[in-house]
Amino acid sequence: MRYDVIVIGGGSSGLMAAVAASAHGAQVLLADKGDKLGRKLGISGGGRCNVTNAKELDELIKHIPGNGRFLYSALATFGNKEIVAFFEGMGIALKEEDNGRMFPVSDKAKSVVDALIRKVREQGVHIRTNSPIAEVLYEDGRVQGVRLRSGERVASDAVIVAVGGKSVPHTGSEGDGYVWAERAGHTIVELYPTEVPLESGEPFIRSKELQGLSLRDVSLSVWNAKGKRIVEHEGDLLFTHFGLSGPIALRCSQFVVKQLKEQRAQSKSGAGAAAGVTPAAAAGPTAPAGAAAAAGATVPLTIDLYPAKSVDEIYTETLRLAETESKKAIKNVLKGYLAERMIPLLLEKAGLREELTYDNIPKLAWMDLAKVVKAFPVGANGTLSIEEAFVTGGGVNLKEIDPRTMESKLMAGLYFCGEVLDIHGYTGGYNITAAFSTGYTAGKSAAEAAMLELR
């Protein structure tokens, strides 16, 4: 059997590629190695499926720090508005939540996955599950089809690789696409975990004294070895038994990964000194002295517990609190102002005894307390693995892909879409938007090229 278009992978991008290719008149085969389509889509957004994000185009792109600008053309053709219209057209009403995140009104990812599967079936796509593809076949600089692991060959002039990255492999994304890309002459930008929880060896992490503490509306900064702030994200943060998680830790994670890599490379090349930079030295102008100084590669982070207030405001407000309750120990006075479980640590870092009362407060140390509240230091010395990450960073080099079609510039008839490409966004619907948008573009372009050939 010969198909106009073969889509490998029935995840977010592959399902959308199959929808678009069949809608544009192509006879399509959609092959997936798993027994079910859309597994990862089905667990995204905490099982509610964060289908897209309502932000305007420029904002969307800003929230895709891994090469979002490559997506201008694809998003202009099939962006968030088209995604919303597409699902609403199939009877899946969407609702907007905080920060523009869009979910199905049903709060069920299954409704989104089922609608996509229904659509590809209605449009006559031939679906084959439990059909792992072993190889994409090339000859004379163009695609010939695919070979299944069973040995069976299926012919086509257009193959869309939509097999995802390497994260959460039990959903089927095991990194199969990179080898096929390399065999076509593509380079793979080194893979790394992104949107991934951070590990820390700080004593207060190891002791688990903050485990489970969730901080709302704080900010997290990542600093480089020279003491320059690389990035700051505001939102919610969670202390875990191994380090930090929650939306802002995930957003900062790619910067931590890159800093760790840099430090390790420098220490290997003998330039050494930078790798030995202590967070205390590097934690920047607002970081208090005494920031954690773990040995080895450690990236300095600081948590600002009151992003909207200045050090002086915090100093004055906390001092006023202590004055109004002048007989109370400061650890009790601060309870309404700071997360209770952090108070002993904050006081310790500022060199203040918990039992002090207003009359005995050393003003310099109180200023240090205000500084620690603005820049609580945490050294990050790793992240969870790429398999445990929400998203895979790196992938097929975008310089070798036409952004208007998603076709390879090196192999005629070969298309890529979704996470296999060197594109990654923050959580919040941006990755799925990128997957749908590149999937739609690849499907439409592959079908149009196939239809031209037929004429």
Ligand X SMILES: Cc1cc2nc3c(=O)[nH]c(=O)nc-3n(C[C@H](O)[C@H](O)[C@H](O)COP(=O)(O)OP(=O)(O)OC[C@H]3O[C@@H](n4cnc5c(N)ncnc54)[C@H](O)[C@@H]3O)c2cc1C
SS (H, E, C) 1-17: CEECEEEECCCHHHHHH
CB of 42 to ligand X, least distance (A): 9
User: 190 to each of 257, 382, 421, how far by Cα in Å?
Assistant: 12, 17, 11
Give the shortest CB-344-to-ligand X separation in angstroms: 34
Contacts to ligand X by CB under 6 A: 8-14, 31-34, 39-41, 43-45, 50, 132-133, 162-164, 167-168, 171-174, 176, 390-391, 418-419, 427-432, 435
Cβ atoms of 393 and 192 closer than 8 Å:
yes
In the complex, what is the shortest distance from the CB of residue 53 to ligand X, in angstroms, rounded to a whole number? 8
Cβ at position 200, least distance to ligand X in Å? 22
Distance in angstroms (rounded) separating the CA atoms of residues 405 and 402: 6
By beta-carbon proximity to ligand X, the closer residue of 175 and 279 is 175
3-class DSSP state of 49: coil
Residue whose CB is less far from ligand X, 167 or 383? 167
Nearer to ligand X, 116 or 347 (CB): 116
Smallest distance, Å, CB 150 to ligand X? 11
Least distance (Å) from ligand X to the CB of residue 422?
Answer: 12
Question: H-helix or E-strand containing 453?
Answer: helix 430-454
Q: Which is nearer to ligand X, 43 or 293 (CB)?
A: 43
Q: Which one, 164 or 413, has the nearer CB to ligand X?
A: 164
412 secondary structure, DSSP code: B
CB 49 within 8 A of CB 42: yes
User: Which residue lies nearer to ligand X by CB, 80 or 427?
Assistant: 427
**CA neighbours closer than 13 Å in the CB half-sphere of residue 247:** 19
Task: Name the residue with tokens 């790196």.
Answer: 394
DSSP string of 207-275, one letter each residue: TTTTTT-EEEEEEEEEE-TTS-EEEEEEEEEEE-SSEEESHHHHHHHHHHHHHHHHHHHHHHTT-GGGG
Minimum gap (Å) between residue 440 Cβ and ligand X? 12
DSSP-derived letter for residue 440 is H
CA–CA dist 358, 360 (Å, integer): 6
Burial of residue 280 (number of CB atoms within 10 Å: 0-12, 13-18, 19+): middle
Closer residue to ligand X in complex, CB, 164/382: 164
Nearer to ligand X, 171 or 253 (CB): 171
Residue 219: both structure tokens together? 């900010």
SS3 of residue 155 by DSSP: strand
Phi-psi region for residue 259, left (φ > 0), alpha (ψ -120 to 50) or beta?
A: alpha
Q: How far is the CB of 426 from ligand X (least distance, A)?
A: 8
User: Buried b vs exposed e over 320-343: b needs ≥16 C-beta within 10 Å?
Assistant: ebbeeeeeeebbebbeeebbeebb
Plot region of 272 (φ>0 → left; ψ -120 to 50 → alpha; else → beta): left
Provide the minimum distance between the beta carbon of 174 and ligand X in the complex, in angstroms, as a whole number. Answer: 6
Per DSSP, the chain holds a count of helices (H) and strands (E) of 15, 21
Task: Identify which of residues 11 and 379 has a Cβ nearer to ligand X in the complex.
Answer: 11
- Fill in the amino acid letter for 420: V
Q: How far is the CB of 385 from ligand X (least distance, A)?
A: 13
Report the residue number, 40 or 374, with the smaller CB distance to ligand X: 40
**Residue number, 174 or 209, with CB nearest to ligand X:** 174
Q: State in angstroms the smallest separation of the CB of 165 from ligand X.
A: 7
**430, amino acid identity:** Y
